[in-house]
Structures are given as structure tokens and as C-alpha cells.
Amino acid sequence: QRCLSLIKKTKFLNAYITVSEEVALKQAEEAEKRYKKGRSLGDLDGIPIAVKDNFSTSGIETTCASNMLKGYVPPYNATVVQKLLDQGALLMGKTNLDEFAMGSGSTDGIFGPVKNPWSYSKQYREKRKQNSHSENEDSNWLITGGSSGGSAAAVSAFTCFAALGSDTGGSTRNPAAHCGVVGLKPSYGLVSRHGLIPLVNSMDVPGILTRCVDDAATVLGILAGHDPKDSTTIQDPVKPFTLPSLTDVSKLCIGIPKEYLTPELSSEVHSLWSKAANLFESEGAKVIEVSLPHTSYSIVCYHVLCTSEVASNMARFDGLEYGHRCDSSVSTEAMYAATRREGFNDVVRGRILSGNFFLLKENYENYFVKAQKVRRLIANDFVNVFNSGVDVLLTPTTLSEAVPYTEFIKEDNRTRSAQDDIFTQAVNMAGLPAVSVPMALSTQGLPIGLQFIGRAFCDQQLLTVAKWFE
Ligand code: GLN
């Protein structure tokens, strides 16, 4: 009830696309009965959670914030959603995003942008006043980052305890950093993608947003493991993710990638990053500078691979099977074209176009195949660093704290998104686990997150270090 009333109170944040009030209340009633009988279903019994609107939810509309899927009610639950429900979690609703999770702002969906709850914090408001910015309540609100901005805002505004996001190039970690919550991207293959509407199949991972690292570990423990419906999930049995309290970090080796010190990095994020490194060092950890030499290729490489997979993935939206269909009865081709023109926004159509260009017979070798080779080099950079004895890498998550919406939309949004993902995308191309943890508040009073990157399938070790840091 408390969470539902907070959802109503914070409706102006636009964090939720659908609030499943009836479902949640019914689930809560059942959880309460179980509780009274002492028959809890598991760690999440009776715990309110939210789910990004690109995961299929049985009987609940799933839109991907797109006209294409508006009104689409899936007949099944994504594996991760089912696993949460099997543990007794209460589904509060579906959260807002960039259309088909393409973006870094949560500004690009058909339901409008998500507002960052920190825009309304007393400290931020006062700082702005001191800096003599005009105090127009509704003109200088901040973006949440994205594309899982709805999920990050939902957790940050206390409307649920955990939320699912998705992470293809940073979409869980980026909004987590901007909204002051924990954002975990598990190792690729640890968590099932079945029922997550794909963006880039070879990089997509369900992400977890929570208020603390322990909660993220609990949710990961529930979600992780083989799924016969996703052939890319690991076959090995998964051990539970209970995090030991690390008291001694002196055996740890923390790597600081020198290429991540980019000119665009804000001085404040830079200084907090150094502070964090010093903290580890002063507690006895070995902190060393490392090199990931192919970092500068990661954004272009991601772009070629992402748009190529998008072109292929989006082909399923043809107006026939589900979702939007235009009225045209001229011909089948005309119907396809008009459906896609009406159903997708510019960002999605732009990516389909780029992807089809890269996949043209005459371009395929030069772009797609080459990008796959570069991807391997980027992944090998990480392998080399970890083979040299580094346990985890410590990096910024984003270039700066959250920016006001009016600033964010000034530049070409796509260029801006591309820059923002510099610290997160390579991780997806390498399939590694990474987590963004809130570090401190900026002088403006806004949260800044730092990222830890771990070895593939060493999610437990990664979270243990993150918990110590938290
Ligand atoms: N910003 C990146 C993109 O637009 C990543 C998105 C994501 O992780 N879903 O492709």
C-alpha cells in the first residue's frame, strides 16, 4: 500500500508506463496469508518490484515505449519475471524507457521522458538557487539516464525495492549512477534473456536495480542459472550469491584503465574516481594503472554491431503478427512500410537503416565482419588485464552527473548517447559482469556512481568488492 501510494504521489516522474495495482494487491494478499502460515515462498515473498517495459509480462501490456507494441499483451512471462513471481515478489508495474531501449536518457519513448527524482531534492534546489538559476520548478528537471530510467527512478523514489532493467551498452548502470542506486549488469549467459524483447542479442542482459549491493546479490541469486529457453545461458549449476563481509582488501588488485581518463570526463567524477582508488590503496589493496588499448574503437564498433543486429531484430515487426498495423490496403508491401513508419520513432528507424547499410553484400566484410574482429580485440584487452592478476577494474560509470533535460536535448541526442556510453559499452561486447555503485554527492547535490568490472562469471567476487566499497 505504501509503495502504491508513493507511485501515485510521484506520478509526475513518469517512471511507470503501467501500474499493475490490482495484480500487486492480490499478490500481496496471498503473500500475507503465506506469511501468517509461516510458509514463505522465498527471499522476495511480499517484496514490491518493478519491471522495465521491454520484458514480457503475461496478461500485462508490454510496449517497449513504442507505438509498434502499444496494446500488445504477451501471453507469457519472461523467464526472469516468472522467477521473481515464483519467489512471491509483488509486481507493481512496468517502467518507462527509451523506445526499444535505444538511448541513454529515457527521453525517447512515446510516453514521454522520465524525470530524475533528485531534481526535486532540497539540496539540489538550494544549490541551483545559490547559483542564481531561475527557479522555475518544472523547467530544470534532470534526466534519469537510460534506457532503464523508469526502473532507476522507481527504485530511487522508494516505489519498489528492486527493479529489472536491461543492459546492452550500459542501460542499467547509466541510470543507476544518475539516480543514486545500485545497477548490476550480470555476466552474459548467467541470466536468461527469454522474454526480454531483444535489442542486440549478443550483448543484451537483464539488469538489476536496487538500493544496496546485498539486494542486487539476492535478486541475482534468484535470476541466475540455465534456462532451456535461452541457449546462451550457462549449463553449470549456479551457487547462491550470498556475499561475505570483506574486512581485508589487502589481497585485492584493483586496475585503473588509463584510457578511461577521457577529456570529456568531468573534473568532479575524475576526482571521486581518484578518491576511491586512494581509499582502496590506503586499506592495503594493490592499485595499478592498466591499459585497455582498444577502448577508443569501442563506440564505433558497438554502433556497427548494434545497428546490424537491430536491423535483423526489428524485421519481426511487420504489422502482421502483433502490435501496430496501419490501415493501408493498397498492397502488402505498402502495409509493411506504413506500419513501420507509424510504429517506430526516428532513432529506431535510423538504426534499422544504418544496420541494413552495414549488412549490404558490398559492405558486410568491410563493416560487420571487421567490427566483429574489433570486438574480439576489445574483449581480449580485458582478458589480458585479468590474466595479469587484476581482480576488478575501477572506472567511472558516466562522464558527469545527471544533466537537465533542456541541456540533454540540445545536442544531437544520438551523438550525446554515444559519448555517454564510453565506460559501459566495452563491457557488453566482452560479456563481463559490472556494477555501478553510488559513490558520493556532487557539489550540486547530485549522485555520482562508480563502476566495478569483474572477470566473466565472477559476479560473486565483483559484488563482494562492491559491497565493501558501498
Ligand atoms: N545507449 C546504448 C544504445 O542506445 C545502450 C542501450 C542499452 O543498453 N539498452 O544502444
Host domain of residue 129: 2-247+434-469
Please tell me the distance from the alpha carbon of residue 78 to that of residue 207, in angstroms, as a whole number.
13
Mean pLDDT value across residues 361-380: 98
Q: Is the CB of 216 under 6 A from ligand 1?
A: no
Q: Would you name the residues annotated as active-site residues?
A: 52, 147, 171
Q: Is the CB of 421 under 6 A from ligand 1?
A: yes
- On the question of pLDDT at 32 being above 80, the answer is yes
Instruction: Tell me which amino acid residue 390 is.
Output: V
What is the position in ligand 1's atom list of the atom closest to the CA of 203? 8
For ligand 1, the distance from its centroid to the CA atom of residue 104, given in whole angstroms, is: 6
- On the question of pLDDT at 190 being above 80, the answer is yes
Considering just the CA atoms, what is the radius of gyration of the chain in Å?
21
H or E element at residue 51: strand 48-52
121: CATH: 3.90.1300.10
What is each CA distance from 44 to 7, 15, 28, 143, 460, in whole angstroms? 20, 22, 11, 30, 19
Q: How many CB atoms lie within 10 A of CB 303?
A: 21
Mean pLDDT value across residues 354-380: 98
Counting ligand 1 atoms within 8 A of each CB, the residue from 307, 421, 422 with the most, and so the one to mutate, is 421
Is 424 part of any domain?
no
Please tell me the distance from the alpha carbon of residue 306 to that of residue 147, in angstroms, as a whole number.
15
Pull the grid cell for residue 338. 506504413
* E-assigned strand segments in 362-428: 392-396
Pull the grid cell for residue 444. 550540486
**Mean pLDDT, the chain, whole residue set:** 95
Is 272 part of any domain?
no
Is 191 part of any domain?
yes
How buried is residue 388: exposed, middle or buried, by Cβ count under 10 Å (0-12/13-18/19+)? exposed
Q: Is the CB of 151 under 6 A from ligand 1?
A: no
- On the question of pLDDT at 411 being above 80, the answer is no
Quote ipTM for the complex: 0.98
On whether the CB atoms of residues 124 and 118 are closer than 8 A, the answer is: yes
Residues 6+ away with beta carbon under 8 Å from 11: none
Mean pLDDT value across residues 164-170: 98
For ligand 1, the distance from its centroid to the CA atom of residue 183, given in whole angstroms, is: 14
- On the question of pLDDT at 18 being above 70, the answer is yes
For ligand 1, the distance from its centroid to the CA atom of residue 101, given in whole angstroms, is: 6
For ligand 1, the distance from its centroid to the CA atom of residue 400, given in whole angstroms, is: 17
Instruction: Tell me which amino acid residue 264 is.
Output: E
Q: Please choose, from the candidates 184, 170, 185, 179, the residue with its C-alpha nearest in 3D space to the C-alpha of residue 104.
A: 170
Percent share of the chain, pLDDT over 70: 97
Which band of pLDDT confidence, cut at 50, 70 and 90, is reported for residue 134? low
For ligand 1, the distance from its centroid to the CA atom of residue 147, given in whole angstroms, is: 6
Is 335 part of any domain?
no
Q: How many domains does the chain have?
A: 1
H or E element at residue 183: strand 182-185
DSSP string, 227-276: BTTBTTS--SPPPP---------TT-EEEEEGGG--TTS-HHHHHHHHHH
- On the question of pLDDT at 68 being above 90, the answer is yes
What is the position in ligand 1's atom list of the atom closest to the CA of 166? 9
What pTM did the predictor assign?
Answer: 0.97
Is 327 part of any domain?
no
pLDDT at 414: 56
Half-sphere exposure of 78 (CA within 13 A, CB side): 28
Q: Is the CB of 102 under 6 A from ligand 1?
A: yes
Q: Is the CB of 306 under 6 A from ligand 1?
A: yes
pLDDT at 329: 75
Mean pLDDT value across residues 168-176: 98
Please tell me the distance from the alpha carbon of residue 459 to that of residue 257, in angstroms, as a whole number.
20
- Terminal Cα-to-Cα distance of the chain (whole angstroms): 30
- On the question of pLDDT at 402 being above 90, the answer is yes
Q: Please choose, from the candidates 445, 349, 435, 372, the residue with its C-alpha nearest in 3D space to the C-alpha of residue 402.
A: 445
On whether the CB atoms of residues 101 and 166 are closer than 8 A, the answer is: yes
Mean pLDDT value across residues 419-436: 95
- On the question of pLDDT at 51 being above 60, the answer is yes
pLDDT at 137: 57
Mean pLDDT value across residues 249-267: 96
> 55 has which bridge partners?
196
Is 457 part of any domain?
yes
Is 262 part of any domain?
no
Q: Is the CB of 417 under 6 A from ligand 1?
A: yes
CA angle 158, 15, 79 (to 5 degrees): 85
- On the question of pLDDT at 127 being above 90, the answer is no
- On the question of pLDDT at 415 being above 80, the answer is no
pLDDT at 311: 97
Please tell me the distance from the alpha carbon of residue 332 to that of residue 220, in angstroms, as a whole number.
45
What is the position in ligand 1's atom list of the atom closest to the CA of 102? 4
Mean pLDDT value across residues 273-297: 97
Q: Is the CB of 104 under 6 A from ligand 1?
A: yes
What is each CA distance from 200 to 92, 363, 425, in whole angstroms? 27, 20, 12
Is 32 part of any domain?
yes
